[in-house]
C-alpha cells in the first residue's frame, strides 16, 4: 500500500496538470478571439492613450517646444521688413535694393501613389483649404501644385486624370498643376534606389523649386493667413520661422526664398552622401538652424509665432481644436478680425501639424463642421471655403 499511494498520487497529479493546461489553452484561445473581434474598437483608444502618455509625461520634450518666448529685435526686424542688407558698399551709400521675391506659392502633393499604399491618402478637404488659404489669405499672384499622383480614385499610372479628384477640380481656376515624373523624383535621391520616405524627396524638391523659381513654399497642411508683403521685400535670400519656443530648429514646412539663394545652395549640399532612411527631421529642421548660426547674414529668422505657433505638442493641438463657448468664439473672432486674419499680431501663417493632429481632429472635419462648429482652427480657416462647398462635398 505504501508503495502504491505515491504512484497513484503521481498519476492523478498528471491528469490534473493536463486538465489545467487544457483549460489554460482554451482561455488563451478565447482571449485571442476576443482580442481579434474587439481590436478595431479598442486599438484607437489604446493608441491615443499611449500617444498621450508619450507626449505629456514629465520628461517629454514637448515642454521645451511649447515654452513661452519673447521675440527678439532681429526677428521682428525680419518680420516687419526692417532688416538691412548684410554688407553695404560704404557707410554713406544707401542700401542696395534687392529684387522682390515673387508672390508665387508652391505646394507639393502626391509623390507616393495611394493605389499602392492607401495610407498616403488622396488630396483631401484639408489640402483644399490650404491651397485656398494661398488665394484668400496670402493673395498669391500664382499658385503651383507640384504632383506625381492626384487621381481619385487612385490608379497605377502617374499623371492620370488629376482633375478626377473633386477637390483639385474645384481649385482648377486658382492653380497651375506641375507634373513631376517618378523618374524625376528618383533622380533627386543622392543614390539610386535609396529607400527614402516621400517626405524626404519632397524636402529636396522644395529647395530645388525655390532655388530655380523663388517664391513661397507651403506644406499641404499649412495655411497662409495674411499677405507676406514685408517678407517679399527682404534683402535676405531666404526667410524661415523658428519651430518651438525653445528655437530648437528652423522648419522647412513654410519658407520664403529668392532665386539662387546661397543659403539653399549650402543647405542642399548637406544632402550629399546622406542616408535619410535613418532620420526624420534633422535635415529639414535642425540642420537649417545650425546653418543659420554659422551664416546669420544669409537668412532672416522669424519668431516662432509667425509660422509655427501653436506648436505640434499635444496640448497646443488640443487648444486649436477644442470647442469654444459662444463668448470665447466672439472674443476670438474679434481678435482674428483685429489681426487681419490671424490669432496673434505676429502670425502670418499656421502649420496644422497633420502628423500629430490628423487622427484626433483633422480627419474628422467636413465643410459643414468648419462652418458651424467654433474652434480656433475653424475660425481661422472658415473664410477659405467656397460658398458652394457644402454637404455634397463631404
Distance of alpha carbon 233 from alpha carbon 239, whole angstroms: 11
Confidence category of residue 112, pLDDT binned at 50, 70, 90: very high
Looking at residues 292-304, what average pLDDT do you find?
A: 96
pLDDT on residue 192: 65
Distance of alpha carbon 264 from alpha carbon 300, whole angstroms: 13
Least confident segment among 203-212, 234-243, 269-278: 269-278
Range list of β-strands (E), the chain: 104-109, 142-147, 176-179, 215-218, 222-224, 238-243, 249-257, 300-302, 349-351
Fold of 64-83+99-305: Spore Coat Polysaccharide Biosynthesis Protein SpsA; Chain A (3.90.550)
Distance of alpha carbon 248 from alpha carbon 284, whole angstroms: 12
Q: Which residues contact 171 (CB under 8 A, 6 or more apart)?
A: 128, 131, 132, 145
pLDDT of residue 1 exceeding 60: no
Distance of alpha carbon 223 from alpha carbon 72, whole angstroms: 24
Of 226, 242, 225, nearest in space to 376 by CA = 225
Confidence category of residue 382, pLDDT binned at 50, 70, 90: very high
321's enclosing H/E stretch is helix 314-321
Looking at residues 257-270, what average pLDDT do you find?
A: 96
pTM as predicted: 0.86
Gyration radius from the chain CA atoms:
27
Q: Which of 80-94, 194-208, 289-303 has the highest mean pLDDT?
A: 289-303
Distance of alpha carbon 109 from alpha carbon 39, whole angstroms: 32
End-to-end CA distance of the chain: 83
pLDDT on residue 194: 67
pLDDT of residue 394 exceeding 60: no
The answer to whether 219 touches 352, Cβ cutoff 8 Å, is no
Confidence category of residue 29, pLDDT binned at 50, 70, 90: confident
Q: What is the mean pLDDT of the chain?
A: 88
pLDDT on residue 215: 98
Confidence category of residue 279, pLDDT binned at 50, 70, 90: confident
CA dihedral 319, 323, 327, 332 (to 10 degrees): 50
Residue count (the chain): 394
| Cα 196–Cα 133–Cα 316 angle in degrees, nearest 5 | 70
pLDDT on residue 331: 98
Confidence category of residue 30, pLDDT binned at 50, 70, 90: confident
Beta bridge pairs of residue 178: 146
**168-191 core/surface letters (b: 16 or more CB in 10 A; e: else):** bebbeebbeeeebeeeebeebbee
Instruction: Answer with the residue of higher pLDDT: 280 or 292.
Output: 292
139 conformational bin, left if phi > 0, alpha if psi -120 to 50, beta if neither: left
pLDDT on residue 17: 55
DSSP 270: T
Distance of alpha carbon 178 from alpha carbon 162, whole angstroms: 11
pLDDT on residue 274: 79
Distance of alpha carbon 282 from alpha carbon 199, whole angstroms: 12
Beta bridge pairs of residue 108: 146
Confidence category of residue 94, pLDDT binned at 50, 70, 90: very low
The answer to whether 72 touches 303, Cβ cutoff 8 Å, is yes
**295-324 core/surface letters (b: 16 or more CB in 10 A; e: else):** eeebbbbbbbbbbbbbbbbbebbeebbeeb
Q: Which residues contact 81 (CB under 8 A, 6 or more apart)?
A: 229, 230, 231, 233, 234
pLDDT on residue 3: 47
- Quickly tell me which residue has 473581434 as its cell: 37
Confidence category of residue 91, pLDDT binned at 50, 70, 90: very low
Looking at residues 314-336, what average pLDDT do you find?
A: 97
pLDDT on residue 384: 98
Phi, psi dihedrals of residue 276, rounded to the nearest 5°: -80, -5
pLDDT on residue 28: 74
Per-residue pLDDT tens digits for 37-88: 666 666 566 666 666 677 777 777 788 899 999 999 999 999 999 998 866 4
The answer to whether 242 touches 301, Cβ cutoff 8 Å, is yes
Instruction: Answer with the residue of higher pLDDT: 15 or 340.
Output: 340
Q: Which residues contact 9 (CB under 8 A, 6 or more apart)?
A: none
Amino acid at each position: 500500500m505504501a508503495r502504491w499511494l505515491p504512484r497513484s498520487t503521481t498519476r492523478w497529479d498528471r491528469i490534473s496538470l493536463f486538465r489545467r493546461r487544457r483549460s489554460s489553452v482554451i482561455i488563451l484561445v478565447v482571449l485571442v478571439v476576443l482580442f481579434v473581434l474587439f481590436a478595431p474598437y479598442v486599438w484607437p483608444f489604446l493608441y491615443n492613450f499611449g500617444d498621450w502618455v508619450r507626449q505629456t509625461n514629465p520628461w517629454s520634450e514637448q515642454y521645451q517646444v511649447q515654452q513661452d518666448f519673447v521675440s527678439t529685435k532681429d526677428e521682428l526686424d525680419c518680420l516687419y521688413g526692417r532688416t538691412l542688407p548684410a554688407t553695404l558698399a560704404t557707410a554713406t551709400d544707401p542700401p542696395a535694393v534687392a529684387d522682390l521675391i515673387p508672390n508665387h506659392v508652391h505646394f507639393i502633393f502626391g509623390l507616393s501613389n495611394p493605389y499602392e499604399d492607401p495610407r498616403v491618402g488622396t488630396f483631401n478637404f484639408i489640402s483644399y483649404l490650404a491651397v485656398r488659404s494661398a488665394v484668400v489669405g496670402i493673395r498669391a499672384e500664382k499658385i503651383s501644385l507640384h504632383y506625381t499622383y492626384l487621381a481619385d480614385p487612385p490608379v497605377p499610372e502617374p499623371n492620370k486624370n488629376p482633375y478626377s479628384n473633386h477637390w483639385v477640380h474645384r481649385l482648377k481656376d486658382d492653380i497651375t498643376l506641375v507634373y513631376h515624373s517618378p523618374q524625376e523624383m528618383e533622380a533627386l535621391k543622392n543614390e539610386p534606389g535609396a529607400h527614402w520616405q516621400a517626405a524626404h524627396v519632397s524636402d529636396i524638391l522644395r529647395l530645388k523649386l525655390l532655388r530655380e523659381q523663388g517664391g513661397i513654399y507651403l506644406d499641404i497642411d499649412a495655411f497662409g493667413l495674411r499677405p507676406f508683403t514685408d517678407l517679399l521685400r527682404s534683402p535676405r535670400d531666404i526667410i524661415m520661422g523658428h519651430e518651438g519656443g525653445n528655437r530648437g530648429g528652423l522648419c522647412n514646412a513654410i519658407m520664403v526664398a529668392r532665386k539662387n539663394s546661397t543659403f539653399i545652395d549650402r543647405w542642399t549640399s548637406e544632402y550629399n552622401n546622406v542616408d535619410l532612411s535613418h532620420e526624420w527631421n534633422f535635415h529639414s529642421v535642425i540642420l537649417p538652424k545650425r546653418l543659420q548660426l554659422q551664416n546669420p547674414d544669409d537668412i532672416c529668422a522669424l519668431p516662432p509665432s509667425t509660422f509655427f505657433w501653436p506648436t505640434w505638442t499635444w496640448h497646443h493641438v488640443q487648444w486649436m481644436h477644442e470647442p469654444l463657448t459662444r463668448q470665447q468664439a466672439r472674443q476670438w473672432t474679434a481678435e482674428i478680425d483685429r489681426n487681419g486674419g490671424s490669432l496673434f499680431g505676429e502670425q502670418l501663417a499656421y502649420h496644422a501639424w497633420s502628423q500629430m493632429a490628423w487622427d484626433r481632429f483633422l480627419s474628422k472635419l467636413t465643410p459643414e463642421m468648419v462652418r458651424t462648429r467654433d474652434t480656433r482652427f475653424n475660425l481661422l480657416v472658415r473664410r477659405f471655403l467656397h460658398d458652394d462647398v457644402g454637404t455634397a462635398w463631404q
